[in-house]
């Protein structure tokens, strides 16, 4: 069940506007929820502090103040698994949708760890609800709320999409599944999902005992991975990081614009 909407100074002052249930009070205080106003990104708190008067808009009608921000595309995620665990790595670069310009100053978190799963996202990284929110802020909150159920994370994320939203949001999930066939009674599954305002679709489910799946700028990686079933946790991490480093280096050397870059993020699930 989704939480009730929180009251706030923002809602009290602008009660003709509607907002999502993503702990709005915390977003207001931290500045994580934003509106595009006069070609600048403002948090609700900053709008209030600077006296920006937007009262008078109809509920849900932001056309006078929100100019559609170019969608930002995230770059590359890969998950590697064997009987000893599952590792996820990603870059942290954000690329504006023209595909040739970096969004400077933004170190995007793309992978999130629950108790028994790792969730990664790639593609559009701004969530257009009643406030424009960075997708990493939303996913961090949802994973903290549902640390044992990635399905609930995906369902609530989809619930908050506006019905007229035309965007597709992409996710890759690695999770631990009890199994009598594998070491320590665990096996590791990797699945891909596409979420729209109308549906949640599974794109693939990899139940093999060892393997590697990538999402995003997969042309930067080799094909036909061979993952040793007996690689240790340290070896899995080293191999996954090597793949990401190689993708970044190749892009830097041979592409006019490299869509993969920034700090390498890594999460391990045992």
Q: Of all helices (H) and strands (E), which one includes residue 249?
A: helix 233-254
pLDDT at site 129: 57
pLDDT at site 107: 78
Range list of β-strands (E), the chain = 33-37, 40-42, 72-74, 76-82, 85-90, 94-96, 111-113, 117-123, 126-128, 132-134, 169-178, 186-195, 200-206, 211-216, 265-269
Distance, in Å, from the CA atom of 120 to the CA atom of 193, rounded to the nearest integer, reads 10
pLDDT at site 143: 97
**Token match 């320590």: residue?**
184
pLDDT at site 225: 86
Distance, in Å, from the CA atom of 102 to the CA atom of 258, rounded to the nearest integer, reads 9
pLDDT digits (tens, 9 = 90+) for 199-258: 999 999 999 999 999 998 888 888 888 999 999 999 999 999 999 999 999 989 998 888
pLDDT at site 17: 32
pLDDT at site 270: 92
Distance, in Å, from the CA atom of 117 to the CA atom of 147, rounded to the nearest integer, reads 8
pLDDT at site 220: 85
**Token match 């009674």: residue?**
185
pLDDT at site 167: 84
In this structure, the number of other CB atoms found within 10 A of the CB of residue 235 comes to: 15
**Domain map (residue ranges) of the chain:** 1-67, 72-269
Tokens representing 220 are: 């930067």
Distance, in Å, from the CA atom of 117 to the CA atom of 21, rounded to the nearest integer, reads 24
Whether the CA torsion 77, 87, 161, 30 is positive or negative: it is negative
Residue pair 72/126 in contact by the 8 Å Cβ criterion: yes
Residue pair 77/260 in contact by the 8 Å Cβ criterion: no
* DSSP string of 47-97, one letter each residue: HHHTT---TTPPTT--TTT---PPPEEE-EEEEEEETTEEEEEE---EEET
pLDDT at site 103: 64
Distance, in Å, from the CA atom of 157 to the CA atom of 160, rounded to the nearest integer, reads 6
pLDDT at site 222: 85
In this prediction, the residues of the chain whose per-residue pLDDT falls under 70 are: 1-74, 96-106, 125-132, 163-164, 181-185
Cα–Cα distances in angstroms (integers) from residue 185 to residues 81, 179, 233, in the given order: 15, 5, 17
Written in H, E and C, the secondary structure of 27-58 is HHHHCCEEEEECCEEECHHHHHHCCCCCCCCC
pLDDT at site 265: 97
CATH number assigned to the domain with residue range 72-269, chosen from the 4 options 3.60.20.10, 3.90.1150.10, 3.40.1190.20, 2.40.50.140: 3.60.20.10
Q: Buried b vs exposed e over 153-170: b needs ≥16 C-beta within 10 Å?
A: bbebbbebbeeebeeebb
């Amino acid at each position: 069940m989704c939480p009730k909407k929180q009251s706030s100074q923002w809602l009290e002052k602008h009660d003709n506007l509607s907002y999502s249930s993503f702990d709005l009070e915390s977003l207001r205080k931290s500045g994580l929820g934003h509106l595009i106003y006069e070609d600048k990104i403002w948090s609700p708190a900053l709008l209030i502090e600077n006296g920006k008067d937007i009262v008078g808009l109809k509920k849900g009608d932001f056309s006078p103040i929100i100019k559609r921000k170019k969608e930002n595309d995230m770059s590359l995620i890969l998950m590697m698994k064997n009987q000893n665990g599952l590792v996820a790595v990603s870059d942290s670069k954000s690329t504006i949708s023209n595909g040739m310009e970096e969004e400077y100053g933004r170190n995007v978190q793309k992978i999130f760890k629950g108790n028994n799963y790792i969730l990664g996202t790639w593609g559009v990284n701004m969530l257009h609800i009643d406030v424009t929110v960075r997708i990493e802020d939303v996913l961090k909150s949802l994973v903290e709320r549902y640390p044992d159920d990635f399905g609930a994370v995906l369902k609530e994320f989809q619930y908050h999409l506006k019905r007229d939203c035309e965007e597709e949001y992409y996710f890759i999930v690695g999770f631990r599944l009890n199994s009598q066939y594998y070491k320590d009674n665990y096996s590791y599954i990797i699945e891909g999902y596409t979420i729209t305002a109308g549906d949640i679709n599974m794109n693939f489910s990899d139940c093999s005992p060892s393997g590697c799946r990538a999402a995003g700028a997969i042309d930067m990686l080799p094909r036909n991975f061979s993952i040793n079933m007996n690689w240790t946790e340290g070896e899995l991490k080293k191999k996954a990081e090597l793949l990401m480093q190689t993708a970044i280096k190749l892009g830097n050397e041979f592409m006019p614009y490299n869509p993969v870059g920034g700090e390498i993020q890594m999460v391990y699930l045992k």
